[in-house]
Amino acid sequence: MDKIDFRSDTVSWPTPTMRQAMATAVVGDDVYGEDPTVNELERLAAAKVGMEAALFVASGTMGNLVAILSHAGRGDEAIVGEDAHTYKWEAGGMAALGGVVPHPLPTDYAGRMALADIRAAICEDDPHLPRSRLILLENSYGERGGYPIPPDYFAGVRAIAAQHGLAVHLDGARLFNTAVALNLPASNITQHVDSVSFCLSKGLCAPVGSLLCGSADFIYRARRVRKQLGGGMRQAGILAAAGIVALQEMIERLADDHAHAQQLAQGLTQIPGFRIDPAQVKTNIVFFDLADEVTQSAAEIAHALSAQNIWLGAVGPRRFRAVTHYWVGELQVEQLLSALQRLLA
Ligand SMILES: *Cc1c(COP(=O)(O)O)cnc(C)c1O
């Protein structure tokens, strides 16, 4: 890559193997179901999460929106973490395009809504109230530094959902970061949900795309919703080819990204002026803060770094986010740490 970019794992470029696979991909019209490479990617994705079927979509946001609109309708309610991506970072799509009412609940240090809060949030059958229909979960949890939530929580939510006839959708944009961090197959988590979406375009390095997975019947309905949203793509095998490489070659190596995030977190503890809790860094996202005595703002520091071609997210007046990925390894973490040390000296 031409810069040292820690702003997100979405900035990661496709690998040389991906570009090769894209150049030689066999394609067809996917809206007709005739793109063999898309069909292969969808089969592979469904198998990875132990579900019957999958649908290739343009983005994680589209995967979540298609899922929500396939599970719920106008006036239905979705229980969701108040800092979940589906609630906070998807432009209100569920309400704007689906008429689905979000019911946000607080989350703990790992990004979990309390089971008691979920139970209490479920509406009685009453004409005054929206109909509870859906529970939205996320794993790893972005706003908690990519915290990998273990499977038992999902089993607990599943039991409540089953009791009340609700569907459960998992926003698993970084699902494989969780699976690798916990050293479990992803299906240990996804067996407890009705549908899951995950991104190919983050740590897995594909240029574009996400998969929505679920039962064959659910994906049949989701395919219509994707079309309604304008997401039916044609010779999408060019993109799917990179996705196949992502699923075959890029999952296990996420452990390297996690090690580099931990390297960064440990390094930051050695620089006076930064506040960081390395114990919260379990996957590839590092949130850290400026100590009170530092006079510069996070934005000023990020700006000064960019002059050295190092890019970091200033996500609050005193707060940073760094995300590790394939293109920023041990050396780039060292470069970031020494640049930060010089700027605060
Ligand atoms: C990135 C992300 C998404 C959305 O993905 P896009 O492809 O950027 O639309 C959804 N959920 C979480 C938790 C994410 O981190």
pLDDT in tens, 190-242: 999 999 999 999 999 999 999 999 999 999 999 999 999 999 999 999 999 99
Instruction: Take residue 275 and report the two structure tokens written for it.
Output: 């506040």
Residue whose CA is at the smallest distance from ligand 1 atom 3? 60
The atom of ligand 1 lying closest to the CA of 64 is 10
- pLDDT value of residue 42: 98
> What mean pLDDT comes out for the span 283-311?
97
| Digit-coded pLDDT (tens) for 54-102 | 999 999 999 999 999 999 999 999 999 999 999 999 999 999 999 999 9
Q: Three-state SS for 309?
A: coil
56 Cα: distance to centroid of ligand 1 (angstroms): 15
253-344 CATH choice from 3.40.30.10, 3.90.1150.10, 3.20.10.10, 1.10.3720.10 = 3.90.1150.10
Inter-residue contact 333 to 264 (CB < 8 Å) = yes
Q: What is the maximum alpha-carbon separation in the chain?
A: 63
Ligand 1 in contact with 70 (CB < 6 A)? no
Determine the topology of domain 12-249 in CATH: Aspartate Aminotransferase; domain 2 (3.40.640)
Tokens in use for 203? 């740590």
Alpha carbon of 217 to ligand 1 centroid (Å): 25
Q: Where are the domains of the chain?
A: 12-249, 253-344
Task: Print burial letters for 318-343: b (CB count within 10 Å at least 16), e (below 16).
Answer: bebbbbbbbbbeeebbeebbebbbeb
Q: Does position 124 have pLDDT exceeding 90, yes or no?
A: no
Paired strand residues for 57:
210
What is the whole-number distance in angstroms between the Cα of residue 75 and the centre of ligand 1?
25
Report how far Cα 9 is from the mean position of its chain's Cα atoms. 10
Residue for token pair 């067996």: 191
Q: Which atom of ligand 1 lies nearest, measured to the CA of 140? A: 13
Q: Whose CA is nearest to atom 14 of ligand 1?
A: 173
Find out whether 41 and 236 touch, Cβ atoms under 8 Å.
no
Decide if 246 contacts 204 (C-beta within 8 A).
yes
Top mutation candidate among 8, 61, 143 for ligand 1, by most atoms within 8 Å of CB: 61
Q: Ligand 1: distance of its center to the CA of 65 in Å?
A: 11
The whole-angstrom separation of Cα 312 and Cα 305 is 8
Q: Decide: 111 in ligand 1 pocket, CB within 6 A.
A: no
Q: Is the CB of 143 under 6 A from ligand 1?
A: no
Ligand 1 lined by 59 (C-beta under 6 Å)? yes
CA separation for the pair 310, 64 (Å, rounded): 32
Mean pLDDT of the chain: 97
Give yes or no for residue 2 having a pLDDT over 90.
Answer: no
142 lines ligand 1 (CB under 6 A): yes
3-state DSSP call for residue 232? coil
Residue 293: partners with Cβ closer than 8 Å, 6 or more residues away: 273
Of the chain, the percentage scoring pLDDT greater than 90 comes to: 98
pLDDT at 345 over 90: no
Beta carbon of 178 within 6 Å of any ligand 1 atom = no
Q: What is the CA radius of gyration of the chain?
A: 20
Q: Which residues fall within 8 angstroms of residue 165, CB to CB, at 6 or more apart?
A: none
Distance 272 CA to ligand 1 centre (A): 33
